[in-house]
Amino acid sequence: MQEARMGASLLRLFFHDCFVNGCDGSVLLDDTSSFIGEKNAAPNRNSARGFNVVDDIKSAVEIVCPGVVSCADILALSARDSVTILGGPYWDVKLGRRDARTASQAAANNNIPSPSSNWNQLISRFSAHGLSPRDLVALSGGHTIGQARCTTFRARIYNESNIDSSFARTRQRNCPRATGSGDNNLAPLDIHTPTYFDNSYFKNLIDGRGLFHSDQQLFTGGGSTDSIVRGYSNNPRSFRSDFAAAMIKMGDISPLTGTKGEIRKYCRRVN
Ligand code: HEM
Ligand SMILES: [Ca+2]
Ligand SMILES: [Ca+2]
């Protein structure tokens, strides 16, 4: 990988695909004059990235095996390979998903959780897709890699009290208080090992160093997930195996099979 962050971006793309009408490649479709896709939904606009890498993988695969491998499966495999290459677990990826001929900006806005979510909102967004509180906590461990824009964590670092004060000060240095200044400045989601897939995210939560309001909600957020966070912070092996299992579960959300959907030729547009 030329850029370590790309692994994080590809992992997130898979999440943003699966949570919106299932793992069907819907997130990859470009807007056109007659079609509104998901790329400009609030959680994706100026934020989701990695589309060119998916295009490169797809064209390489089409050369050797045309019309067989869906864009949805490429997202699933890219997410797994990203995690494994960055030091995380390996799992066998189920394949055979087909690609959607539609996408829904409204469904993207309504299904992908916001970083200002509280504990109940997180639980319910995940349970709507058959994912348990334990799956929520394990999958949130994906925030052990990658970067976030100032606008997604500004409110937390200036206004919240359940945050380590030196961590808040560190983040404030590159994320000005005023909306509109430095909105796109980046900070790592995991202050310790932002390009390594480990269990450091859970240690951060225990230290009050969750970057998003939603992250910190999983520990001392008033819900019942504190013991799961403690477990993953003490036992990296249980995090690795639960993360892999939860990724398989997430990858099972409403796949298109049989004669539903299509195998796209280009991931950015329907055939
Ligand atoms: C639990 C609810 C979740 C919320 C509220 C959330 C929210 C966010 C936000 C706001 C960002 C930064 C976006 C930006 O700067 O524009 C982000 C980045 C990221 N998220 Fe999540 N996320 C959640 C769950 C997940 C899950 C389940 C995964 C994967 C298993 C994941 C993987 C990532 C990764 C890897 C990044 C960094 C991407 C990059 O560097 O390009 N997130 N998330
Ligand atoms: Ca989708
Ligand atoms: Ca890490």
CA proximity to 146, closest of 182, 108, 185, 196: 196
CB of 26 within 6 A of ligand 1: the answer is: no
Active-site annotation, residues: 16
Is the Cβ–Cβ distance between 256 and 101 less than 8 Å?
no
Q: What are phi and psi of 137, to 5 degrees?
A: -70, -45
What is the value of pTM for the model shown? 0.98
Q: What is the pLDDT of residue 55?
A: 98
Q: What is the pLDDT of residue 237?
A: 98
Q: Write the CB contacts of 165 (distance below 8 Å, at least 6 apart in sequence).
A: none
Q: What is the pLDDT of residue 1?
A: 59
Determine whether the annotation assigns residue 115 to a binding site.
no
Is the Cβ–Cβ distance between 254 and 24 less than 8 Å?
yes
CA 12 to ligand 1 centroid distance, Å? 6
One digit per residue, the tens of pLDDT, for the chain of length 271 reads 589 999 999 999 999 999 999 999 999 999 999 999 999 999 999 999 999 999 999 999 999 999 999 999 999 999 999 999 999 999 999 999 999 999 999 999 999 999 999 999 999 999 999 999 999 999 999 999 999 999 999 999 999 999 999 999 999 999 999 999 999 999 999 999 999 999 999 999 999 999 999 999 999 999 999 999 999 999 999 999 999 999 999 999 999 999 999 999 999 999 9
Question: Class of 142-246 per CATH?
Answer: mainly alpha
* Owner of token pair 């797994």: 80
Determine whether the annotation assigns residue 26 to a binding site.
yes
Task: Please say whether the dihedral angle defined by the alpha carbons of residues 195, 22, 214 and 154, taken in this order, is positive or negative.
Answer: positive
Determine whether the annotation assigns residue 30 to a binding site.
no
Ordered by start, the domain boundaries in the chain are 142-246
CA proximity to 263, closest of 110, 99, 51: 99
Q: What is the pLDDT of residue 2?
A: 81
CA 107 to ligand 3 centroid distance, Å? 30
Bridge partners of 147, per DSSP, are 188
Q: Report which protein residue has its CA nearest ligand 1's atom 28.
A: 142
Q: What are phi and psi of 125, to 5 degrees?
A: -60, -40
CB of 140 within 6 A of ligand 1: the answer is: yes
